[in-house]
Amino acid sequence: MATKYHNLSDYDADALPSADILSRQRYAIVVADWNSNVTFPMCQGAIDTLVQHGVPLDNIVVKHVPGTFELTYAAKTLQRQESPHAIIVIGCVVQGDTPHFDYVCQGVTIGVAKLNSEGVCPVIFSVLTTLTMEQAEERAGGRLGNKGVEGAVTAIKMANLFA
């Protein structure tokens, strides 16, 4: 039996708010520089999607952090300083031979969950946690689409959930 793959970049554009609404909104993206071969294409996918749906490029703040673990600190700071409608955190952690993978994944997951429950805007989890670099690349513009696109669509939907 063949495995069916879901392309992360597939979505219903008609389910999103109008460009007129999105043109007045601000978004932030925090991207980890570690595994930049994966995270940078995801970031570009998020930016392109936001702009495609009407968010002006000037209304998108992008901040870089060294690694995935640092995403939550930057997101928390952006919530206060920039007052965005939503924040997308983009990272990539590939499992290695040590428990480092578990600690980083658990820390960033708990951190983002806490920001969502206590913060002032939605923080969208676009962090890949994969077994191999090949799996990550498949989700950063490869055959499975781009998780950054999915993050942008989710950010738009969450920013307008109660509008």
Indicate which residues carry an active-site annotation.
Answer: 100
Q: Which of 147, 73, 159, 63 is nearest to 108 (CA)?
A: 73
121 is in an annotated binding site: no
The burial of 81, by beta-carbon neighbours within 10 Å (0-12 exposed, 13-18 middle, 19 or more buried), is given as exposed
Q: Under DSSP, is residue 133 helix (H, G, I), strand (E, B) or coil?
A: helix
139 is in an annotated binding site: yes
138 is in an annotated binding site: no
Find out whether 120 and 14 touch, Cβ atoms under 8 Å: no
109 is in an annotated binding site: no
Quote the CA–CA distance of 57 and 68 in Å, as a whole number. Answer: 24
Q: Under DSSP, is residue 31 helix (H, G, I), strand (E, B) or coil?
A: strand
65 is in an annotated binding site: no
3-state percent helix, strand, coil for the chain, nearest multiple of 5: 50, 20, 30
92 is in an annotated binding site: yes
34 is in an annotated binding site: yes
40 is in an annotated binding site: no
150 is in an annotated binding site: no
Annotated binding site for 5-amino-6-(D-ribitylamino)uracil: 34, 68-70, 92-94, 125
Annotated binding site for (2S)-2-hydroxy-3-oxobutyl phosphate: 97-98, 139
Annotated binding site: 34, 68-70, 92-94, 97-98, 125, 139
